C-alpha cells in the first residue's frame, strides 16, 4: 500500500512513503531536482507520511526549540524513540513525527490546510535528514553559499546578520558567481575533502539546486560600521561552526557525530571573521581574501 | 567530587575542547578549552569520583613538578571547573 518516492541529497538517499492519496509529492515543491528513480540502495531514512499515525504514549518533554522558521516540541519515550511536534510561526500544529532513536525510520502525521502540510512535511524531512546523517560525516548547516570558479564559499551568522545580503552583493559585484543555497546547505567530508551541496531547503530564497562544489572556506559575518577581515583561531572556529549546524544537543550519537565532522571539516578548510557593512567594499574584501587562499 | 555527565573532552584540530551534551547541559553554550596539563588531569579523573590527591598524582606522574606546586595548581583547576559548572 502507498506510494514510495526516492530522493538523493548530497549523495544520501532517503525514501518518502505516502499512505493516503490526499498527500503526495505536490507537498514537496522544492524536491523535484533531488528525485531519483527508486532502486534497492541503502537509504539513510524512510519517512512514512501517515495522517492516522498517532502516539500510543506521550513522551517526556525535552524542550521547545525555535529554529527560526518553526517551533518544535521534542519528546522522548521510554524506548528512546522521539516524538517531535512541528508548529508554524502562528503556533499551528502542522506535523507530528515519531522516529526511532537514530532517525532511520519514522512516521509523519500531517494536519491542517495545504500550506500547513507542506510546511510540516518539509521541516520533518529536513530534521530527519540532519539527525539521520549526523554520524555519517555530514552537516546540515545554516549558511548562505556562493560559488565562484567552481568553489563554494559559506557565510555564517545568526538570522539577521546579513548572510543573504552579503551573498546578494557577491552576485551583484563579482562576475561569474552564482548562489548555491541561501539557508541550509549540506557539507560533507568525501575522500578527505570538504564538499558543499545544494539542498531542498533554502529559507526564504527559492534556491533548490542539486549541485556540489569543494568548500573554499567559511566566513563568520558580523555587522559593523567598517569592513575588516581576519582568520579565526581553532577555538573561535569551533564556536562558530558548531552552532551553525543542525544538532540535537541532548543526544550523544547526534552531538558527537556533528562535533567530529566539524573537526574534520576544520582540518580541511579555513574560517574567517568578517566585520562588515552591506557594501561593495565588504564583498571585495571577502572575495580577495577567500580566492587568494585558493591560489596559495 | 565528579565531572558531571555529558561533558566530554575532544581533540579539535589540536585543541583540547570540552563539548557538552545531554538534557542537563542543554543551556551550556560555552566552548571551553583546556591546556595540555589540565587535559591530562581531566582524562585521569573523568567518569569517576575523585579527590584533589587523585588530580595531584595524575599531574605528578606526567610532569616533573613538586607536590606542593601540583596541589596549588589543582586547587586552582578545581575552582575554575566549579565556577564553569563541570563538577558535581
Identify the domain containing residue B22 by its residue range.
7-84
Nearest to A250 among B11, B14, B21 (CB): B21
- Give the per-residue pLDDT at A36: 98
Task: Name which of B8, B19, B26, B30 to mutate to probe chain A: the one with the most chain A Cβ atoms within 10 A of its Cβ.
Answer: B19
**DSSP SS3 for B78:** helix
pLDDT digits (tens, 9 = 90+) for A68-97: 678 999 999 988 899 999 999 999 999 999
How far is Cα of residue A47 from the mean position of the Cα atoms in its chain?
17
CB-CB under 8 Å, A234 with B19: no
Domain membership flag for residue B2: no
- What Rg, from alpha-carbon coordinates, does chain A have? 19
Q: In total, how many domains does chain B have? A: 1
A249·B8 Cβ contact <8 A: no
Residue of B14, B23, B25, B27 to mutate when probing chain A, most A C-beta within 10 A: B23
In this predicted model, what pLDDT tens digit does every residue of A22-61 receive, in sequence order?
Answer: 999 999 999 999 999 999 999 999 999 999 998 878 899 9
Residue B42 in any domain: the answer is: yes
Model confidence at A268: pLDDT above 90: yes
Residue A220, pLDDT > 60, answer yes
B13·A267 Cβ contact <8 A:
yes
**ipTM rounded to 2 decimals:** 0.88
Q: Which chain A positions have a beta carbon within 8 Å of B9's beta carbon?
A: none
SS (H, E, C) chain A: CCEEEEEEECCEEEEEEECCCCCCHHHCCCCHHHEECCCCCCCCEEEEECCCCCCCCCCEEEEEEECCCCEEEEEECCCCCEEEEEECCCCCEEEEEEECCCCCEEEEEECCCHHHHHHHHHHHHHHHHHHHHCCCCEEEECCEEEEECCEEEEEECCCCCCHHHHHHHHHHHCCCEEEEECCCCEEEEECCEEEEECCCCCCCCCCCCCCEEEEEEEEEEEECCCCEEEECCHHHHHHHHHHHECCCCCCHHHHHHHHHHHHHHHHHCCEEEEEECCCHHHHHHHHHHHHHHHHC
Contacts of B33 in chain A (CB under 8 A): 235
What pLDDT tens digit does each residue of chain B (88 aa) get?
A: 999 999 999 999 999 999 998 888 877 778 899 999 999 999 999 999 999 999 999 999 999 999 999 999 999 999 999 999 999 8
Cα–Cα separations (whole angstroms), residue A14 to A125, A217, A254, B74: 9, 28, 18, 51
The mean predicted confidence, pLDDT, of chain A is 94
Nearest to B15 among A63, A235, A260 (CB): A235
> pLDDT class for A282, splitting at 50, 70, 90?
very high
CB contact under 8 A, B12 and A238: yes
Residues of A in contact with B13 (CB under 8 A): 234, 237-238, 263, 266-267
CB contact under 8 A, B21 and A260: no
Q: pLDDT at position A259, please?
A: 96
The percent of residues above 90 in pLDDT, for chain A, comes to 87
Residues B12, A252: C-beta atoms closer than 8 Å: no
For chain B, say whether A63 makes contact (Cβ under 8 Å).
Answer: yes
In a domain, B1, yes or no: no
Determine the pLDDT at residue A159. 84
A260 and chain B in contact, CB less than 8 A: yes
Smallest Cα distance from B46 to chain A, Å = 17
Partner B contacted by A249 (CB < 8 A): yes
pLDDT of residue A4: 97
Q: What is the distance in angstroms between the Cα of A5 and the nearest Cα belonging to chain B?
A: 35
Q: Is residue B63 part of a domain?
A: yes
A139 with A187: CB under 8 angstroms? yes
- For chain B, say whether A259 makes contact (Cβ under 8 Å): yes
Q: What is the pLDDT of residue B27?
A: 76
**Domains (ranges, CATH) in chain A?**
3-133 (no CATH), 139-295 (3.90.228.20)
B28 in a structural domain: yes
Model pLDDT, residue B69: 96
SS3 at position B44: helix
Using the Cβ of B14 and the Cβ atoms of chain A, whether some distance falls under 8 Å is answered with yes
Q: What is the pLDDT of residue A296?
A: 54
Give this prediction's pTM. 0.94
In the predicted structure, residue A295 carries a pLDDT above the cut 70: no
Over residues A188-208, the mean pLDDT reads 95
State the pLDDT at residue A99. 97
Amino acid at each position: 500500500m502507498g506510494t514510495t518516492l526516492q530522493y538523493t541529497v548530497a549523495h544520501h538517499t532517503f525514501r518518502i512513503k505516502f499512505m493516503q492519496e490526499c498527500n503526495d509529492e505536490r507537498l514537496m515543491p522544492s524536491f523535484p531536482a533531488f528525485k531519483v528513480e527508486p532502486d534497492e540502495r541503502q537509504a539513510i531514512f524512510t519517512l512514512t507520511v501517515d495522517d492516522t499515525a498517532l502516539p500510543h504514549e506521550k513522551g517526556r518533554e525535552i524542550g521547545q526549540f525555535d529554529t527560526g522558521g518553526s517551533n518544535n516540541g521534542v519528546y522522548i519515550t521510554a524506548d528512546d524513540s522521539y516524538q517531535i511536534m512541528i508548529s508554524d510561526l502562528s503556533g499551528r500544529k502542522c506535523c507530528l513525527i515519531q522516529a526511532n532513536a537514530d532517525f532511520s525510520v519514522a512516521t509523519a502525521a500531517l494536519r491542517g490546510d495545504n500550506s500547513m502540510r507542506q510546511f510540516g512535511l518539509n521541516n520533518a524531512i529536513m530534521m530527519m535528514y540532519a539527525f539521520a546523517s549526523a554520524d555519517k560525516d555530514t552537516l546540515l548547516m545554516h549558511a548562505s553559499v556562493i560559488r565562484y570558479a567552481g568553489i563554494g564559499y559559506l557565510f555564517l551568522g545568526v538570522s539577521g546578520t546579513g548572510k543573504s545580503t552579503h551573498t546578494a552583493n557577491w552576485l551583484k559585484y563579482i562576475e561569474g558567481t552564482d548562489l548555491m543555497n541561501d539557508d541550509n546547505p549540506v557539507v560533507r567530508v568525501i575522500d578527505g575533502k570538504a564538499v558543499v551541496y545544494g539542498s531542498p531547503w533554502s529559507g526564504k530564497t527559492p534556491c533548490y539546486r542539486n549541485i556540489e562544489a569543494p568548500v573554499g572556506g567559511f566566513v563568520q559575518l558580523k555587522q559593523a560600521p567598517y569592513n575588516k577581515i581576519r582568520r579565526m583561531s581553532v577555538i573561535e572556529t569551533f564556536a562558530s561552526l558548531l552552532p551553525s549546524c543542525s544538532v540535537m544537543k541532548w543526544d550523544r550519537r547526534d552531538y558527537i557525530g556533528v562535533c567530529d565532522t566539524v573537526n574534520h571539516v576544520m582540518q580541511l578548510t579555513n574560517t574567517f571573521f568578517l566585520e562588515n557593512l552591506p557594501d561593495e567594499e565588504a564583498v571585495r574584501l571577502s572575495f580577495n581574501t577567500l580566492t587568494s587562499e585558493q591560489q596559495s | 567530587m565528579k565531572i558531571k555527565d555529558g561533558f566530554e573532552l575532544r581533540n579539535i584540530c589540536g585543541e583540547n575542547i570540552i563539548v557538552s551534551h545531554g538534557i542537563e547541559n542543554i543551556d551550556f553554550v560555552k566552548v571551553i578549552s583546556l591546556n595540555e596539563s589540565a587535559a591530562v588531569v581531566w582524562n585521569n579523573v573523568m567518569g569517576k569520583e575523585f579527590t584533589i590527591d587523585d588530580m595531584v598524582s595524575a599531574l605528578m606522574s606526567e610532569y616533573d613538578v613538586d607536590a606542593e606546586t601540583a596541589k596549588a595548581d589543582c586547587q586552582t583547576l578545581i575552582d575554575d571547573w566549579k565556577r564553569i559548572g563541570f563538577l558535581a
